[in-house]
Structure 1
Amino acid sequence: MIVTIDNIKEPNMKNVLEVFILFISIKSSTQQCSDSKKTMEYVPSCPRSRAEWNAASDFKKCANVQQTCVQQSEFVYHCVINTYLNATVEVCAPAVDILGQKCAEYNTGGERIQEHSKTNCSTCPFRYLSSDSYLYQECYRIIHSNVTLSNDNSNCDSKIRESEEDNPYVAATWVLFSILVIIVFIIVVRCIRSRKS
């Protein structure tokens, strides 16, 4: 018998499966986009309003960037924190859902926008679109409380780029985690079936 959401009788198992499927579908949408990396620039601050975001987006011209990641209309402006919580970056990338009241980050090693797992954002909703990061200024305050940016940050930029390149294991970690969750799910379903028999 094939296990589907409809033939699971236990309500808790059905909820767990639905959350797991949602999680996997959202995680699989956070694809690597190497074309985004060439658009990344370190900036001293990010937009604080929709008007500032629109102006920065118009200036960045993400719709004109030649890329092969997504449809051109889905390659959009972002201003987010970096992985190391020491800079803000402007980048053109596909918008993704950010989950778990976390801040959005651009990961140069993974060449993607994703949630920053070590941030806790009390003003962020559980789920929001990464291109709406300007609405959650708390995330930028994390950076500015950790680092004072100087006018000449070229040395800082090269050190940040070098250290972010060393993080190629992010995708592999998610794949292994997903496989582990599937195995645990199968074991739980089999245990429930054997109890009913």
Structure 2
Amino acid sequence: MDSTGKVRIMSMIISFAFFKAGNAMSCETSLITSIPIKRCPRNELEWNTRAALLNCSSINQTCVKPDKFEYHCILNENVTGLVEVCAPSKHVFEQKCLHFHTGGKLIQESIINCSSGPITCPKAYRSTEAYKYQSCYDSVNENRIENDRCGQRIGLDKSKSCDNNEIVMIATGIIVFTVVALVLLCVFIKYYRKRRRRNRRNSGNVEPTKTDQYLLDTTHV
């Protein structure tokens, strides 16, 4: 075999090895360990503290060796929140944030990039180093804080816009209230006028209609 052939074979072996390392393994037990959380660790100390608390390696599973079943804190499936989960680690070869796919029961790249922010992620990193790239969590945290603010004090902070659905609901409520108030006002006015005419008729002091007035005028001529 010539040198060119050897180079090609070596390239194929290396590519296959990277492909296997990059692809996360699906694990049924990971789904059981998935827990929603408001905030992920911000540094290595916090990450290791949470990892020790969950103790993923002690969980009974048949997917990987115990020391390869590791703690993660990543985006949820809809990238609207955060989850802590025990899962086989993976290598990421794109500048993407990670999320836990409940259907596949595995960790995979999300649609959110980690190539922006104070600390950008490299083109290759391990899933257990996600805490280093806080920009992955920032968008979720900002949305949660804004939604909480809108839910508690809608319209107080003019620099922040509430969720569109909340605005539509509020506007609809105002319109319905206004319409109901106008209908009740019309009913009250109509009832008041009817009652006033009845009282005058009963007292014998009924104002003549235009036709009666015309007949009276022609009689006196």
> TM-score, normalized by length of structure 1?
0.63
Aligned length: 141
Q: Rate the CA distance shift 1:144–1:73 in 2: closer, same or farther, 3 A.
A: same
Q: Does 1:140 align with 2:140?
A: no
Q: Which amino acid in structure 1 is aligned with residue 112 of structure 2?
A: T
Q: Rate the CA distance shift 1:95–1:5 in 2: closer, same or farther, 3 A.
A: farther
Tell me how large the CA RMSD over aligned residues is: 2.6
C-alpha distance in 2, partners of 1:5/1:32?
A: 35
1:64-88 CA-to-partner distances (Å, cap 9, x unmatched) read: 1111110001111000011211010
* Structure with greater helix percent: 2
1:95-127 CA-to-partner distances (Å, cap 9, x unmatched) read: 1011210011111111011111x1111111111
Q: Which residue of 2 aligns with 1:38?
A: 32
Q: Which amino acid in structure 2 is aligned with residue 24 of structure 1?
A: F
Mind listing any 5+ residue stretches in structure 1 that lack a counterpart?
9-13, 151-197
Q: Which residue of 2 aligns with 1:194?
A: none
Q: Rate the CA distance shift 1:99–1:146 in 2: closer, same or farther, 3 A.
A: farther
Q: Rate the CA distance shift 1:134–1:7 in 2: closer, same or farther, 3 A.
A: closer
Q: Which residue of 2 aligns with 1:180?
A: none
Identity of aligned residues (%): 36
**Greater C-alpha Rg:** 2
Query: Quick one: which of 125, 132, 137 aligns to 1:128?
Result: 125
Higher relative contact order (CA 8 A, sep 6+): 1
Q: 4+ residue stretches of structure 1 with deviation over 4 A? A: 17-20
Q: Rate the CA distance shift 1:63–1:101 in 2: closer, same or farther, 3 A.
A: same
C-alpha distance in 1, partners of 2:13/2:75?
A: 31
Q: Does 1:119 align with 2:112?
A: yes
Mind listing any 5+ residue stretches in structure 2 that lack a counterpart?
149-221
